[in-house]
Chain A
């Protein structure tokens, strides 16, 4: 396959990856890595490197808009970034030692897990009394809902912190944003409101990915010929995805459709990993 054909295919594929990633809230990496490895037979290390770069682009682009709306909690983000960057660094180092087919199998499991998690019905519990540790760390905040502002507190800091180390590790190891894991840590464990946890998670993803990208860059995993079409395609796809998202409210059948697609891709990754085709 010539450079021009490869580039065109990858820009188009990445566009749909970015679109689907934005609609499901799982991020572009989930589709990019299977596309590169299973369809285009690119080495998984290059795929992880390219995906990581697209993760930084989309999360930074989205965070720029969110942060100005005042929903993102910069203190929660900053504090938990200690955990995610430390995890991401460990993950990136681990990725250089792990055989490719193990990475593929792990990727498949995380993919299926995320598909299941995206289907769960969420119950929001806003805590008004923060835990003493949370108060010390000044993690409480407010966010705008229409004309009102809602105040919230945070609890279970230690549990959330450890979950974030894991999220960072997965992000550094697999080259994905692992936004699903970050959101679980924040709204599941720490009881941060959905709107705040999704935007703050997005805010943290760029820094987390950068911490492992500096390792990948030096190891020669980030190839310009692959990263270029991926980052352009994913960013454009994510931009159109966010426009659609504003117009359409999430319907149940659409969520099921996406979850099934993602679970099938995850199974493919596991299957090919076990067969050592990756």
Chain B
């Protein structure tokens, strides 16, 4: 009985811990990605403010930001759209990072079932990322 009690309190402590860490990941992820998007937006509007874009027909994004490497190269060359895209990628990564940390948290709690569930969710997202360009 005694050992069960202590393991229970330890578990509760870990759950609260995980909530705190997840809260921080989400907060830092959203704030930093938004700062990057705003910086990129200022550069973009400053440089291209008077050009006339055509978004009526779908033509994919410009070539230089269609791959992660292209985005990084664009960021180095201080291109506004590339900086925005970097911020957007970071924003998309934020909830995914949350899943990664949940998996680690459940692993530390020795909760095998939920470690597996977290990894399964991560697997689906990775599958989605890998097969996204096919079709």
Instruction: State the A residues within 8 Å of B (CB).
Output: 1-4, 6-7, 40-43, 45-46, 53, 56-57, 59-61, 63-65, 67-68, 70, 72, 74-75, 78-79, 81-82, 85-86, 88-89, 92-93, 96-97, 137-138, 206-207, 209-229, 231-232, 235
Contacts and interface: CB of A to CB of B under 8 A. Distances in A.
Contacts of B16: 70
Contacts of A227: 84, 88
B125 interface: yes
A59 B38 CA distance: 19
Interface in B34-59: 34, 37-38, 40-41, 44-45, 48-53, 55-58
A231 B84 CA distance: 11
B124 A78 contact: no
Contact of B81 (A41, A210, A225): A225
30 contacts: A3-B45, A45-B58, A56-B95, A57-B34, A61-B27, A63-B26, A64-B24, A64-B30, A67-B19, A78-B118, A85-B121, A86-B124, A88-B128, A89-B128, A211-B124, A211-B125, A214-B125, A215-B131, A215-B132, A216-B132, A220-B60, A222-B85, A222-B88, A223-B55, A223-B61, A224-B88, A227-B84, A228-B41, A232-B41, A235-B34
Interface string B70-113: 00000000001110110011011111101100100000000101
Nearest to A54: B91
B55 A226 contact: yes
Interface of B: 15-16, 18-20, 22-24, 26-27, 29-30, 33-34, 37-38, 40-41, 44-45, 48-53, 55-58, 60-61, 65-66, 80-82, 84-85, 88-89, 91-96, 98-99, 102, 111, 113-114, 117-118, 120-121, 124-125, 127-129, 131-133, 135
A139 B26 CA distance: 23
A132 B26 CA distance: 33
A68 B23 contact: yes
Contacts of B81: 224-225
A227 B53 CA distance: 14
Nearest to B66: A220
Per DSSP, are chain B's interface residues mostly helix, strand or loop, or mixed? helix
Contacts, number: 196
Given A56-B92, A74-B102, A82-B124, A41 B19 contact: no
Per DSSP, are chain A's interface residues mostly helix, strand or loop, or mixed? helix
A4 B50 contact: yes
B116 to A, nearest CB: 10
Nearest to A86: B124
A75 B113 CA distance: 10
B118 to A, nearest CB: 6
A67 B114 CA distance: 18
Most buried by A among B50, B91, B102, B129: B91
B71 to A, nearest CB: 10
A64 B23 contact: yes
Contact of B121 (A59, A81, A212, A226): A81
A232 B49 contact: no
Given A89-B128, A214-B125, A67 B23 contact: yes
